[in-house]
């Protein structure tokens, strides 16, 4: 088995202000989806949501506000799953709430440190 990170991307709608009931419903969708992966024994880490604000440190030493201030898309969170191969990990994205809201899920294999040079 290999580990894969699912990275959740979305484009926020600045005009959208969800009600508490809508927020609760979305949280339930995420919990149900993550629970389904866990029930298959494929959930390595349930992951975390990321905040909207941050700083980016550039190679020239400059620091700018926001993780992606110049683009509309942001990374909203991640989870780590285990699967035999990339296609199986991609199949686990089925039903992800990010996809039903116009977002996308990036799936990448996590390279074990022993596979890295000098690892």
51 or 96, greater pLDDT: 96
**Buried b / exposed e across 36-68, counting CB within 10 Å, b at 16+?**
ebeeeebbbebbeeeeeeeeeeeeeeeeeeeee
Which residue carries 């990448």 as its tokens? 108
State the pLDDT at residue 48. 82
- 66 or 98, higher pLDDT: 98
How many C-beta atoms lie closer than 10 Å to residue 5's C-beta? 17
Query: Of the ranges 39-43, 102-106, 113-117, which one carries the lowest mean pLDDT score?
Result: 113-117
pLDDT for res 55: 83
Confidence of residue 87 (pLDDT cuts 50, 70, 90): very high
How far apart CA 86 and CA 62 sit, in angstroms, is 36
Closest CA to 104 of 112, 93, 115, 114: 93
Tell the CATH topology of 2-115.
Alpha-Beta Plaits (3.30.70)
- As a whole number of angstroms, the distance between CA 4 and CA 92 comes to 11
Write down the pTM of the prediction.
0.80
Instruction: Give the CA distances from residue 50 to residues 88, 91, 92, 99, 118, in Å, rounded to whole numbers and listed in that order.
Output: 25, 24, 21, 17, 31
Tokens of 43: 């959930």
Q: Where are the domains of the chain?
A: 2-115
How far apart CA 84 and CA 90 sit, in angstroms, is 11
């Amino acid at each position: 088995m290999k580990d894969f990170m699912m990275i959740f991307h979305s484009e926020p709608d600045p005009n959208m202000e969800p009600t508490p009931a809508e927020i609760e419903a979305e949280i339930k969708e995420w919990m149900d989806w993550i629970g389904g992966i866990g029930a298959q024994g494929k959930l390595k880490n349930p992951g975390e949501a990321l905040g909207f604000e941050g700083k980016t440190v550039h190679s020239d030493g400059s620091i700018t506000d926001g993780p992606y201030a110049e683009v509309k898309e942001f990374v909203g969170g991640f989870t780590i799953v285990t699967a035999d191969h990339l296609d199986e990990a991609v199949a686990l994205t089925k039903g992800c709430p990010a996809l039903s809201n116009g977002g996308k899920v990036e799936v990448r294999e996590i390279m074990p440190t022993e596979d890295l040079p000098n690892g």
